A and B are shown apart, each in its own frame.
Chain A
């Protein structure tokens, strides 16, 4: 991106997953794909301060771990008052920024610099931690407390950062 090599996480015939270099400036950035065959024509992408996205499975379910680390799902909801881990990317600047392609440290942790808010349904939830997952690069975890008083059922989970909002995904609450 902008001539800076980007760490690759996956490369298949039709898709490449990569980490946007930390030093990429906001605005239009030029992206070129190089393989053993040569290089693509450059393509422009818009780089913003934050662009949160919640990882999903089966289409619209948030990748969330319940307090016992099991995967949150229709038959495995989180209880009110418990903490869950929500996995997102695109949280923007962090403290203790790792080098491109390098995993985040467990100590010191890398905290998201911007304000982070989470709502479950229409109810705001307490975000106890927002930062990079230690041992991985580019992946952000939110430690979120399920609000008391939320009835059982599937709710849209939304992550907000400054003026950016992630697309809502489902989380299951049990009683």
Chain B
């Protein structure tokens, strides 16, 4: 008997090419259901989402008190990835036992997820509740199957918070708040030990003192990082100017808060090399708007007007998330903090703008749906222009089960797919009875095309489609 072999290498090749173009279904879908329902909505907290290879989403999240024991806190950070080859999410993998970090660090998220396409490295910066005077970075070079963590700030005498991580071209870019000290910027090679990384305390303009725990770090299209942060002009915290910094440069003042105090959330994103900032906090004397956005017309030296972002009649809360997409479209995701009930949109709340000046806020679900978990705004743009975000459903609404969920914005100008009558058949024989585990075909109008015409020509069906499926 000859041993089986794998002669259809071309088949495996086109499978690989085709599958990497697949995103999860649009609308609301489940990322990960809780293994157990403890009734306390502890699964899927503070999720972070970034885009991996070919836009496939990667998600990290916290399972708080998985053993139900608050004194022996084994709260754990998990990671899962959308796997196009299996058309489903990977089984969540433990990254680190962190203890309950969900409520530490004020209004921001206690972990930050990043992906480096050049090295296929996934990174998570976090601070464990069991070692709060430290920041850790966990890295994975095998798609999130295994992780290696190292400490970044082992000699700190104060607690660390609000990690913001980016990975670009083999380089780590990290910023975090060290309470009572300031805000640190750390950089180094992904493959090097953290002891070789360099740390810089962010500067303050002359006359300012103190840091607000508001922080955003991002890397522009030229691989140059920037940090947006917030200071206090005096001990009364009446005015809290928003600042921007590039490594090696001075702290640049973006704008003041007009004596309205310090905000609750601040995030940075780049449109090519131009930094943009979303800010949750009042700047109006009548406090009409809770959210605003400001952009630089260059690489961060010159800043324009603050544009108000209207809410949908609900109060807003941190944390916020901010993304800039194709052609400069922008989105800010924000927590819902209750309101007068006149809003027409459900959660998650997302404000969008085509031009950065005119904003509208809504949500993908009807008002009151779903029951949105706190602590996890994490919006991104796919290259198609579709918004994508992960969030926790607290109690299992009518539409969604309790657990970690995904929302992918449906593509515009598209129609729903259809299946032809009798259009499901054995992929080899086209007989309309099929067996478990076999390869089968669906014939119909699967629009919009999931692959480019060029790619489709490289990905033929197994055999010629029937003339009349």
User: Which A residues are closer than 8 A to B by beta carbons?
Assistant: 5-26, 31, 33-41, 43, 45-57, 59, 63, 65, 67, 69, 83, 85, 87-94, 97, 99-102, 106, 109, 128-129, 131, 133-136, 138-139, 141, 143, 166-167
- Segment at the interface with A among B186-194, B286-294, B445-453: B445-453
Which of A17, A85, A92 has the largest count of B CB atoms less than 10 A from its CB? A17
User: Measured between alpha carbons, how far is A101 from B417 in the docked complex, in Å?
Assistant: 23
Q: Could you tell me if B427 and A89 are in contact, using CB atoms closer than 8 angstroms? A: yes
Chain B: minimal CB distance from A117 (Å) = 17
Residues A46 and B11 in contact in the complex (CB < 8 Å), given A17-B461, A20-B440: no
Which A residue's beta carbon lies closest to that of B386? A36
Q: Write out the residue numbers on chain B whose beta carbons fall within 8 Å of the beta carbon of A93.
A: 436-437
Give the CA-CA distance A45 to B417 in the complex, in Å.
17
| B 1-33 binary contact with A (CB < 8 Å = 1; else 0) | 110111110011011001101110111000000
Asked whether, in the complex, the Cβ of A141 is within 8 Å of the Cβ of B4, the reply is yes
Complex Cα distance A18/B88, Å?
13
B435 and A90 form a contact (CB under 8 A): yes
Within the complex, which residue of A16, A97, A141 is in contact with B441, where a contact is CB–CB below 8 Å? A16
Q: Mark B440-467, 1 if CB is under 8 A from A, else 0.
A: 1111111111110000100111111100
Of the residues A13, A17, A136, contact of B440 by C-beta under 8 Å: A17
Partner of B431, one of A34, A51, A134: A51
Contact of B429 with A by CB under 8 A:
yes
**Complex-state Cα separation, A57 to B14, whole angstroms:** 17
How close is B11's CB to chain A, nearest CB, in angstroms?
7
The 10 closest A-B pairs by CB, nearest first: A53-B429, A101-B86, A53-B428, A34-B25, A37-B414, A90-B438, A53-B426, A128-B1, A45-B424, A138-B439
**Apart from A14-B446, A19-B437: 10 A-B pairs, beta carbons within 8 A:** A10-B459, A11-B446, A12-B459, A33-B444, A35-B446, A40-B444, A53-B431, A89-B438, A91-B438, A138-B439
A21 to B447, CA, bound (A): 23
Residue of A nearest to B14 (CB): A10
CB distance from B335 to the nearest CB of A (A): 26
Closest beta carbon of chain A to B443's beta carbon, Å:
5
Question: What are the residues of chain A within 8 A of B427 when measuring CB–CB?
Answer: 17, 53, 89
B465's closest neighbor in chain A, by CB? A15
Chain B: CB-nearest residue to A22: B437
Chain A interface main SS type:
loop
Most buried by A among B2, B5, B27, B436: B436
Q: What are 26 A-B contacts with C-beta separation under 8 Å?
A: A6-B87, A15-B442, A18-B441, A19-B437, A19-B440, A20-B439, A24-B436, A34-B25, A35-B416, A36-B384, A36-B414, A38-B26, A38-B417, A39-B417, A40-B419, A41-B418, A43-B424, A52-B429, A56-B464, A67-B2, A85-B7, A89-B428, A89-B440, A101-B86, A133-B5, A143-B2
Chain A positions within 8 Å of B419 at CB level = 31, 33, 40-41, 43
- For residue B105, CB closer than 8 A to chain A, the reply is no
Contact partners of A18 in chain B: CB under 8 A: 87, 439-442
Cα–Cα, bound, A91→B415 (Å): 36
A62 to B439, CA, bound (A): 16
Alpha-carbon distance A20/B318, docked complex (angstroms): 44
B85 beta carbon closer than 8 Å to chain A:
yes
B416 — which chain A residues lie within 8 A by C-beta? 35, 37-40
Known A-B contacts A89-B427, A92-B436; A11 and B451 likewise in contact (beta carbons under 8 Å)? yes
B434 at the interface (CB under 8 A from A): yes
CB < 8 Å: which of A34, A106, A135 contacts B26? A34
Q: Is the CB of A12 within 8 A of B461?
A: yes
